[in-house]
Each structure stands twice: as structure tokens, then as C-alpha cells.
Amino acid sequence: MQDRAHKDAIYEQLARVGKAVAAPRRLELLDLLGQAPRTVEALAEQTAMSIANTSQHLQALRAAGLVESEKDGLYVTYRLASDEVCEFFLKLRSLAEARLADVDRVKRQFFASMDDLAPVNGKELLGRVRRGEVVVLDIRPAEEYAAGHIPGAVSIPLGELKKRVIELGKKREIVAYCRGPYCVFAIEAVKFLRARGFKAVRMEGGIPDWRAQGLPVEAEPEEATA
């Protein structure tokens, strides 16, 4: 009976994590926080939720030890509690893609064009960047780029691409990336660039995937992002 009570207590604690991530919106919040820390207001805008609902979801994630928060005046900033949380999300995503056929169906429904995907070997890509053979384009918001990006990547947020496209030469191939396989930013960027005569492809993975492979990530100094 003591052994049973011990097991029940352990599995009850494990179930807290399962319960915390059993809502689609909370998984989206974890995905966003894997890019960079954010305020409740910023997360609400990104997820199209009210601030109140966003706060409730974040509190559930915090209660399970998956995120941490810090208050600065009127604003509360959330971040992942550790790198293990990011790894957990990536493994959960990978498991779902491997075991649930509906995941692939939904991806193909919303990402119909797969011909713009570039098979990317991280070390090879870094070498091509250093040799000036390719431009790696980070089209996420500036704060996400500042928090962590592929070394040598150029930051042009998607909303600024139209007016800043002149900064990109047409002599080199462009590899665009965004938040990961479910993000449409890179798809839109590649379509825009190809329509204007650029040779452009997208990288399916994002910075969390890149980091999980043990590849280097650069971040902007805090004073540069303040």
C-alpha cells in the first residue's frame, strides 16, 4: 500500500504537466515563448486572445513550473522556465507529427506549397554564410531576432520587407526562416521575393529547432535591445 501511495503521488505530479499543456492555446504560448520572453499584452496580441484569457493560461503554465514571470511596473514578462521546457515542446511536436496522421494533413492543407522548402544542413549553411554564398533572412519580429538568431542572419521583419527589399541583392540565394514549421512568415516572404526575381527558399525549422541540434545561436547585447 505504501508503494501504491508513492506511485499515485508521483504520477499525480506528472499529470500536472499534462493538464497544463492540454489546451491548444497554452501550447501556442510555449511555442512563442521559445522565441523570446514577452509581456502578457504582447502574447495576447500574437495569439488573438484577450489579456484576461492569456493571463489565465500563463498562470496555469506557471503553476506547472513551465514558465516564469517577472513584473516590471505595470507589465508582467513571461519566459520559459528552462531549456528543458523548449525541448519538451519540440519532442511533443515531433511525437504528434510521427503518430498522428491528422497533423500532416493539416500541415499540407495550410502549407500547400512545399517546393519552397530548402533541405538545410546547419553546419553547411553556416559555411555558406561565411563564404558569402547565401543570405540567411530572419523575418521574425525584431525582439525575437535580438533574443537569438542564426549567426550572420539579416533581420528584416516581414512587415518591413516591402520597403527594405532593396537591401537584399539578387546575386546570392536567400534562405528565409521564421518561428518554425507552423509559421507562415517565411512562406509569405519567399513568395514576395520570388515574385520580384529573387532566388529564395525557406527553412522549415526555427531557432528552437536549430538550438536543439547543438548549432550556435547569437543574441544581441542587452544594451543594444533596450
Which residues are the active-site residues? 178
The reply to whether 97 falls in a domain is: no
Which grid cell is 56?
489565465
Report the number of distinct structural domains present in the chain. 2
Q: What is the CATH number of the domain that holds 132?
A: 3.40.250.10
The reply to whether 82 falls in a domain is: yes
Confidence band, pLDDT 50/70/90 cuts, at residue 116: low
Q: What is the full DSSP assignment across 158-185? A: GGGHHHHGGGS-SSSEEEEE-SSTT--H
d(CA 3, CA 7): 6
- Of 88, 122, 150, the domain-final residue: 88
pLDDT, greater one: 220 or 222: 220
Domain of 115 in residue numbering reads as 109-225
The strand pairing partners of 173, in sequence order, are 134
The pLDDT tens digits for 144-162 are 999 999 999 999 999 999 9
Same domain for 65 and 15: yes
Contact, 179 vs 206, CB < 8 A? yes
pTM over 0.85: yes
Same domain for 113 and 53: no
Q: What is the CATH number of the domain that holds 46?
A: 1.10.10.10
